Homo-oligomer: A and B are copies of this chain.
């Protein structure tokens, strides 16, 4: 996958990195839609790849490694070729988004956009020849936020793992001198509390970039103890990965943990490349920077996609006055830092009031017994919707539904507190995003939507 990030563009072709956790049918749709002609698959994935190739007419399969190393033979036979790009806006890569409804859409990356986003990542994360970057983020996710190119541009070392698990990650941190990694929150939780951490902190400070959900206080404290410096980022497939960064200011270093967590929970400002980030109301007008007015986050600039491949309708629908609509709801604070309130579709509307599921999750996460949590709206006859929380308790901790609800009521408005707590695992996408639609379906299936509103 790493080599393909260079070899495919250098061959004048378009990269289409595939999510290996998708089904053969989903993968066949993507390959067919992209009109990809060649499928390169690791030998561990040969069964899945053959199933995809069987479904797509004219698709050539190349297997890398194993007993039939077509890939090795192909590379060995390749002639050295020089590369010349006449149009910097030429298509570099397609990244199909795992939409929760409808077919996946093929986000189009240009050479120019990826080049600049890679430079921005070098600048923002401080990549250099001293960097030892560990891959835990999949490269099929926004081309790994453009890090295959960024770390190479900086002259750093890249370390890969065949299977990402906390013990393998800790082994790499201890033995390979890892300095940087990008990880979903769920990977950070494993790192913080897994057995690999028993041997003590990392030998070198590790700069960890994370997105998806802001780190909870206990988690952040534990990660700091273990020698991790956490940077909170935000972006979408459509923005080449992190378009925003919670740019940490030196004057925040010495604040108490609780305040630092609050500051770090914010998605921040446009990265050094993408100053063009705004929060606008339904009419496309900027909301006031007051920390309370919500609007939709919109982006413009070099690291916004060229559109969805062969899908002008979806491309147009994601556009407002030339700005890309993220679909995320946020406030903008007085210092210009934005903070997500919700995916627009994740806002819980209860008795005419908007409840931010993220706000409820943050309140829950401050309880010591909560390892992970997710809040969704459950249909309710009287209130329209009410918040319901799914909670993964910390190992060994015992806590009751009533205790957690009381804990939240002590922190935010009573009507925002979950009406019900469901303990158990939380379903996630391949890239570690919590699948709220799956939680909603579980609620529907349990047919238990007549919870009364307490306050």
Contacts and interface: CB of A to CB of B under 8 A. Distances in A.
Interface of A: 116, 119-120, 122-123, 126-130, 153-155, 247-250, 272-273
Nearest to A129: B249
A123 B250 CA distance: 19
22 contacts: A116-B119, A119-B119, A119-B120, A119-B123, A119-B272, A119-B273, A122-B123, A122-B272, A123-B123, A123-B127, A123-B154, A126-B126, A126-B128, A129-B247, A129-B248, A129-B249, A129-B250, A130-B250, A153-B272, A154-B272, A155-B247, A155-B249
A272 B121 CA distance: 13
Contacts of A129: 247-250
Nearest to A126: B126
A128 B130 CA distance: 17
User: In the complex, which of the residues A119, A247, A248 has the most CB atoms of chain B within 10 Å of its own CB atom?
Assistant: A119
Copies in the complex: 2
Contacts of A153: 272
Interface centre among A129, A130, A250, A273 (most CB of B within 10 A): A250
Given A122-B123, A155-B247, 20 more contacts: A116-B119, A119-B119, A119-B120, A119-B123, A119-B272, A119-B273, A122-B272, A123-B123, A123-B127, A123-B154, A126-B126, A126-B128, A129-B247, A129-B248, A129-B249, A129-B250, A130-B250, A153-B272, A154-B272, A155-B249
A204 B31 CA distance: 54
A153 B272 CA distance: 6
The list of the 10 closest CB pairs from A to B, nearest first, reads A122-B123, A123-B123, A130-B250, A119-B119, A129-B249, A153-B272, A126-B126, A129-B247, A129-B250, A119-B123
Nearest to A127: B123
Contacts of A119: 116, 119-120, 123, 272-273
A31 to B, nearest CB: 33
Contacts of A247: 129, 155
Contacts of A126: 126, 128
A452 B247 CA distance: 65
A126 to B, nearest CB: 6
A126 B248 CA distance: 15
Nearest to A177: B250
A120 B248 CA distance: 21
Contacts of A250: 129-130
